[in-house]
Amino acid sequence: MKSDSLNKLDNQNSYQPNYGAFMKTTFLLLFILAVLLSGCQSTSSDKAEAPFVPDPAHLDLIKRVEAGIIDINHPGREYANSLRGKHYKEWFHYMKTGKKKPVGGWSMAGVVKDSEKLLKLVEVGKTWPKPGEYKIPKTKKAPTIDGKLDDEAWKNAATWNDIYPYNKSKKGGPKTTWKITWDDKNLYFAFDCKDTDVTAKKRKRDGHIYQDDCVEIMIMPEFKFRTYWEIIIAPNGSVYDSVQCKNVNQWGLHADTKLTLPGLKHAQVIDGTINNPKDVDKGYTVEVAVPFSALPEYSRATPKVGHRLNFVLIRLDRNYGKFTPYAFRPLQAWGHNIWNHAVMELAD
């Protein structure tokens, strides 16, 4: 006879857990749970998001923009180029599709507002005063570049006495006289700027001279190449000169300030005391000589009567802290709006 302790051990060994039944039950529960979850998912998918519906006003704006920036050859082209920019394209795509909202500081309301404003400026360009074509008399004797403007050459030079604030077709501003003449070697420019507060910091070459009182010349021999010199002279003699290459389908340009205009001569005379707002100045004069050989497309050419060049003359005025840009003719946008540059024709 077995002892009680052995009987207890036999009873324990005789118990065998039913793992198969346990696993079946577990799988059944998991299956039921999966079915329930898939049912919930299908229920939520049945409630699809409402399709994106673009704002009709936005579609109308995009349509007007697309129509307004095609085949423009008037001064409004510069504003149209802004609307051609990547940022506007991304926003217009989002307005039409609801996809890929642009990131950045702009809001949709801001884009709409700016687009409407730019479109109006493009329209203004259609009726903007034509920049004009001017014959430039040739001088028999080159002027002395001393800033005094007392040479015989300036008596017969092409002369303008009007001044226009940027983006204004009505003239008005400080009295300014602009002159151009030429000979076989150089183009000559003269500026007589009346100014009661002559202001200009001494800056290194190609510094931010355009933030002070200064005069500016842009000369582009051939429009099709869109390459031109930008020359800025301050009344204290500071100089900025760079070769610009204009992008015809975008706002802006590429400036190469590493190049220095070879043979550039300039001189200036101040009638007053510079950088002293406590007294009243009379103004300043500037003379500039630009060699034809330094101009794009003229390096191997000789200037001749009948040659035509694109140009613009600008005066930037800082008077008692107020900064105002002016041009010798009505100028839309800014000085680099090549569709608003005038044409000079070399004459006898």
Per-residue pLDDT tens for 124-144? Answer: 999 999 999 999 999 999 999
> Around Cβ 326, how many Cβ atoms within 10 Å?
24
What mean pLDDT comes out for the span 312-326?
94
Query: Count of alpha carbons within 13 Å of 104, Cβ hemisphere only?
Result: 13
Tell me the pLDDT band of 15, cut-offs 50, 70 and 90. Answer: very low
Question: Domain-by-domain residue ranges, the chain?
Answer: 56-126, 133-346
* Mean per-residue pLDDT of the chain: 88
pLDDT reading at 5 higher than 90: no
Distance from C-alpha of 96 to C-alpha of 99, rounded to nearest angstrom: 8
Chain center to CA of 342: 20
Chain center to CA of 258: 20
For the chain, what percentages of helix, strand and coil (3-state, to nearest 5) are there? 30, 25, 45
Tell me the pLDDT band of 26, cut-offs 50, 70 and 90. Answer: low
Distance from C-alpha of 188 to C-alpha of 114, rounded to nearest angstrom: 41
What mean pLDDT comes out for the span 225-229?
89
pLDDT reading at 61 higher than 70: yes
Percent of the chain whose predicted confidence (pLDDT) is above 90: 75
Higher pLDDT, 15 or 118: 118
What mean pLDDT comes out for the span 323-343?
96
End-to-end CA distance of the chain: 145
CA distances from 121 to 69, 125, 167, 253, 348 (A): 11, 6, 10, 20, 39
Strand partners, 214: 316
> Around Cβ 22, how many Cβ atoms within 10 Å?
10
pLDDT of residue 23: 60
What mean pLDDT comes out for the span 251-268?
91
Tell me the pLDDT band of 43, cut-offs 50, 70 and 90. Answer: very low
pLDDT of residue 297: 77
pLDDT of residue 51: 85
Q: Residue 102: exposed, middle, or buried by beta-carbon count in 10 A (0-12, 13-18, 19+)?
A: middle
Helix axes 86-97, 108-126, angle to 10 degrees: 120
pTM of the model: 0.83
pLDDT reading at 324 higher than 70: yes
What mean pLDDT comes out for the span 248-270?
91
Higher pLDDT, 29 or 61: 61
Distance from C-alpha of 1 to C-alpha of 136, rounded to nearest angstrom: 139
Higher pLDDT, 16 or 254: 254
Which among 347, 329, 337, 315 has a CA at the least distance from the CA of 131?
A: 329
pLDDT of residue 10: 44
Q: What are phi and psi of 123, to 5 degrees?
A: -65, -40
Q: Which 3 state secondary structure label does DSSP give 81? A: helix
- Record the tokens describing residue 306, joined without a space: 């009948």
Distance from C-alpha of 315 to C-alpha of 202, rounded to nearest angstrom: 18
pLDDT digits (tens, 9 = 90+) for 169-215: 999 999 999 999 999 999 999 999 999 999 999 999 999 999 999 99
Third-level CATH fold of 133-346: Immunoglobulin-like (2.60.40)
Distance from C-alpha of 260 to C-alpha of 250, rounded to nearest angstrom: 26
Which among 26, 13, 7, 346 has a CA at the least distance from the CA of 180?
A: 346
Give the CA dihedral 168, 129, 84, 257, nearest 10 degrees. -70
pLDDT reading at 157 higher than 90: yes
DSSP 31-80: HHHHHHHHHHHHHHHHSPPPPP---HHHHHHHHHHHHHTSS--STTHHHH
Q: Residue 335: exposed, middle, or buried by beta-carbon count in 10 A (0-12, 13-18, 19+)?
A: buried
On whether the CB atoms of residues 104 and 86 are closer than 8 A, the answer is no
pLDDT reading at 236 higher than 70: yes
Which among 148, 264, 284 has a CA at the least distance from the CA of 217?
A: 264
Distance from C-alpha of 67 to C-alpha of 80, rounded to nearest angstrom: 10
pLDDT reading at 45 higher than 50: no
